[in-house]
């Protein structure tokens, strides 16, 4: 799991102006644009906050910097793994909600078949859309955001079972606060995308 992940929210009206097979290129071109994009132009990175491109691209997308992940997908993968160790001990409504949330974003699901890429957002050709790890339309984002709002107040219920069955200090998301911080960061992404009516996209370089 040597992947990195960049989690973006993107203006759906702007992204949807072009056919699915051209959307990833449009997003990457804006991201990497000289002086107006986000790639290596000198912006400071603040964990737990947003980076917005310069120039006209600032109205089209933003990137969220997750806390304590250093951009690695390992933290997200491990959060899914930790959830597998805890979920049998969660109250059924909490289990159902986090199953839905995490399977929609970073977890492979109880049977290993969850797909984090919603059909129709980008091309179905993996050669065209190489590097897409997460793709959620505004409708799906709103649904996941609603799930998050419902379950967030109950996360503390998971502390004891996490400490007993999933704690692994020194590893990615190996402590309860690291696990919940990652979930809260995803909640912030979903909330801001919902507020704007935008899509959520997770990309590997």
pLDDT in tens, 22-54: 999 999 988 887 666 665 544 556 788 999 887
Contact 107/83 with Cβ under 8 angstroms? yes
Give the pLDDT confidence of 109-158 residue by residue, as tens digits.
Answer: 999 999 999 999 999 888 888 899 999 999 999 999 999 999 999 999 99
pLDDT value of position 42: 46
User: What is the pLDDT of the chain when averaged over all its residues?
Assistant: 91
The alpha-helical segments, DSSP class H, found in the chain are 12-15, 20-32, 74-86, 92-105, 138-151, 159-165, 176-196
């Amino acid at each position: 799991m040597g992947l990195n992940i960049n989690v973006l929210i993107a203006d759906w009206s702007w992204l949807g102006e072009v056919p699915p097979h051209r959307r990833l290129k449009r997003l990457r071109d804006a991201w990497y644009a000289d002086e107006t994009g986000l790639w290596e132009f000198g912006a400071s990175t603040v964990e737990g906050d947003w980076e917005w491109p310069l120039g006209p691209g600032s109205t089209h997308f933003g990137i969220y910097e997750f806390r304590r992940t250093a951009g690695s997908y390992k933290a997200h993968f491990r959060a899914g793994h930790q959830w597998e160790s805890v979920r049998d001990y969660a109250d059924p409504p909490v289990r159902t909600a986090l199953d839905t949330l995490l399977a929609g974003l970073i977890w492979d699901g109880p049977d290993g078949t969850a797909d984090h890429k919603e059909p129709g957002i980008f091309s179905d050709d993996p050669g065209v859309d190489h590097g897409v790890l997460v793709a959620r339309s505004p409708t799906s984002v709103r649904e996941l955001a609603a799930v998050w709002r419902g379950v967030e107040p109950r996360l503390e219920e998971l502390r004891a079972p996490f400490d007993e069955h999933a704690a692994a200090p020194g590893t990615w998301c190996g402590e309860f606060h690291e696990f919940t911080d990652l979930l809260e960061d995803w909640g912030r992404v979903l909330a801001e995308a919902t507020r704007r009516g935008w899509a959520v996209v997770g990309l590997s370089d």
